[in-house]
Structure 1
Amino acid sequence: MNNPISLDAAGEPAAEAVQAADSAAAKKSLSMREFVNLMKPGIVFHNLIAAIAGFWVASRWHVDWLLLLTMTVGTALIVASGCTLNNYLDRELDAKMARTQSRALVTGKMSPRFVLGYGITLGVLGTFVLGVLVNPLAALLGLIGLFLYVWVYTMWFKRTSVWSTFVGSFSGAVPPVIGYVAVTQTMDAGAWILFLILFLWQPPHFWALGIRRMEEYRAAGFPLLPVVRGSYVTKISIVRYVVLLVPVSMLLYLYGYVGEVYMIAAAALGLIWAFMSIAGFRAEDENKWAKRMFVYSINYLTIMIVLMIANTVH
């Protein structure tokens, strides 16, 4: 190292030296892009679209634009906090994976202490915005989602269990519910349907990536389902979730939240995904199949959310 850390009498790094090392790391040339990447903007964006969809479905086209803005800002801060803290907690594991080795924490451009403080600050601001400018239930849901993602998923299950994806799906399904309760201020049928749609979508989406990058996850030490149980068992699990998602996604129509266009699209898109999932058992090129599944899952959710908004019942 260029700047070795001095030790105190007990053999521990002196506090001043630790602070100096953290400051030096933080002062390395940083671009705005690296600050944005720390919050995983792709994840934040997709969560915000889901939250807006939940808000729109609950509003039934009678939109309070100021409330929508504050809900979006608060949710964005909460999600960004979770992603930033995830980067902080996973920094050693990220160094072992090719797709994450260029992250600012891994390369040393940002200090762990700075990123920890940054993540906590985002979470506090997000909770304040939701609690004061939206409503207490929205803030509570944001805190629950943040706790589940950072502590239960990242700190616990992600490192120890094949159930990590299942557990992580709980937090990933919270944003559309935050948007919904921002309007209704209650957890009714619409809130639970939105939760279930996002909950069931996530495992097959992530397991497709897990199959494609199985060896990377194995090398990093993540006990992901494909790594521990293999591709065949993972494909069975994917089919189960996708098949169940098809009827659940149509509940929004049956409960009168959306129209026929959404219902037809939900059925068609879900059945296509189900047939793609089943086709994985006879796929000659497993990586190519997994990539198609991953890309389709993103497009599936995007189209579903757009139609959910556009075809909301007046």
Structure 2
Amino acid sequence: MKEQASLELRAEAAATAESEETAVSSTATFKDFVQLTKPGIIFSNSLTALGGFWVASGWDISWLKLIWTLLGTALVMASGTVLNNYLDRDMDAKMERTQKRALVSGIISPATVLWYGIALGIAGLAVLWFLVQSPLATLLGLIGLFAYVWIYTAWFKRTSVWSTFVGSFSGATPPVIGYCAVTQTFDMGAVILFLILFLWQPPHFWALGIRRMEEYRAAGFPLLPVVRGTYVTKMAMIRYIVLLVPVSLLLYVYDYVGELYFFAAVVMGLYWAFVSLKGFKAEDEIKWAKRMFIISVNYLTLLFIIMMISTN
């Protein structure tokens, strides 16, 4: 009897320890809150905001204003991505890629994520208004945030094959915010920067969509590859890329940048278009889509770095 009681006590202690370990492991960490903001998206889009600010400044950089602009833009973008997580939590639970997110797994409560996203948005807009002192940049941030959260995430992403097209409007605002923080006007430079990001996004995201097509199908997202198939998606991708090449050159035509940018934009754009065309004969579509996704990321990163180096 004593041995049985001893075994029961040990088993109870082990269960208690396991329960405590599980409780500790399920406690939200700082990293969990950072991951909710999708740091990769924040970083790449902050680079475009930096590029827009740099081109508008023409090397006459107000460093403090640049810091506040990047901070305000990043906070607004972080608000959008956090609220995107909040609204998509039911569908994210159906996708392998997103099942382990802190919100989906229950580590962070929906209410906490909602208020976290709202607080980030208020903070970002406050920085753009009070510290950058740019009503236009603040308005663009507000419009971009509203369009991303409510028009794209809450509406089109769940209901329409046009979701990527609609989402590209809000996704194209970061470089324009950076640009308008300096110029305080929405001129041709702002239009060109907007168009570059607008045209870049669909082929970038559809490459991911083809790679993860079955996951998106299972989750119920009416993404173009899911609804219309990969051939139609590839046709759409090449159209956007072919349009992007001449549009990207407008910065040179309007004398914002020099010849280095011109030649780099031509070479990188044509290479991306060439790889896109190869997709029609690709034996392994997943491998091709992965390559397209990587090329799109590298294209945007290099384009904006060279844009800044080549600014007139």
The two structures share one fold, judged by TM-score above 0.5: yes
Note the C-alpha offset of 1:164: 0.2
Corresponding letter in the other structure for 1:96: K
Which residue of structure 1 lines up, in the alignment, with residue 252 of structure 2? Answer: 253
Aligned pairs for 1:1-314 within 5 A: 28-134=26-132, 135-313=134-312
Corresponding letter in the other structure for 1:149: Y
Corresponding letter in the other structure for 1:229: R
User: Secondary structure at 2:97's aligned position in 1?
Assistant: helix
User: Secondary structure at 1:104's aligned position in 2?
Assistant: coil
1:209-233 deviation digits (Å, cap 9, x = unpaired): 1011100000000000000000000
Q: How many percent of aligned residue pairs carry the same amino acid?
A: 68
1:186-244 deviation digits (Å, cap 9, x = unpaired): 00000000000000000000001101110000000000000000000000000100000
Corresponding letter in the other structure for 1:247: P
User: Secondary structure at 2:60's aligned position in 1?
Assistant: coil
Corresponding letter in the other structure for 1:256: D
Note the C-alpha offset of 1:256: 0.3
User: Secondary structure at 1:61's aligned position in 2?
Assistant: coil
Distance 2:105 2:231 in 1: 36
Distance 1:309 1:257 in 2: 10
User: Secondary structure at 2:104's aligned position in 1?
Assistant: helix
Provide the aligned length of Structure 1 versus Structure 2.
289
Distance 2:287 2:75 in 1: 35
5+ residue gaps, structure 1 = 1-24
Note the C-alpha offset of 1:132: 1.4
Distance 1:174 1:69 in 2: 18
**TM-score, length-scaled by structure 1:** 0.91
1:225-273 deviation digits (Å, cap 9, x = unpaired): 0000000000000010000000000000000000000000000000001
1:172-198 deviation digits (Å, cap 9, x = unpaired): 100000000000000000000000000
Distance 1:28 1:283 in 2: 43
Note the C-alpha offset of 1:296: 0.4
Corresponding letter in the other structure for 2:202: P
User: Secondary structure at 1:290's aligned position in 2?
Assistant: helix
Corresponding letter in the other structure for 1:40: K
Corresponding letter in the other structure for 1:103: R
Distance 1:28 1:124 in 2: 29
Distance 1:104 1:183 in 2: 37
Distance 1:214 1:39 in 2: 23
Distance 2:117 2:140 in 1: 18
User: Secondary structure at 1:98's aligned position in 2?
Assistant: coil
Distance 2:158 2:282 in 1: 30
Corresponding letter in the other structure for 1:126: G
Corresponding letter in the other structure for 2:287: K
Which residue of structure 1 lines up, in the alignment, with residue 3 of structure 2? Answer: none
Which residue of structure 1 lines up, in the alignment, with residue 4 of structure 2? Answer: none
Structure showing greater Rg: 2
Note the C-alpha offset of 1:28: 4.7
5+ residue gaps, structure 2 = 1-22
Which residue of structure 2 lines up, in the alignment, with residue 7 of structure 1? Answer: none
Q: Cα RMSD over matched residues?
A: 1.2
1:110-134 deviation digits (Å, cap 9, x = unpaired): 0000100000000011111101122
Corresponding letter in the other structure for 2:308: I
Distance 2:247 2:225 in 1: 26
Note the C-alpha offset of 1:275: 0.8
1:156-175 deviation digits (Å, cap 9, x = unpaired): 00000000000000011000
Corresponding letter in the other structure for 1:257: Y
Corresponding letter in the other structure for 2:35: N
Deviating beyond 2 angstroms after TM superposition, the runs of 4 or more aligned structure 1 residues are none
Distance 1:166 1:282 in 2: 26
Distance 1:268 1:72 in 2: 29
Corresponding letter in the other structure for 1:94: D
User: Secondary structure at 1:252's aligned position in 2?
Assistant: helix
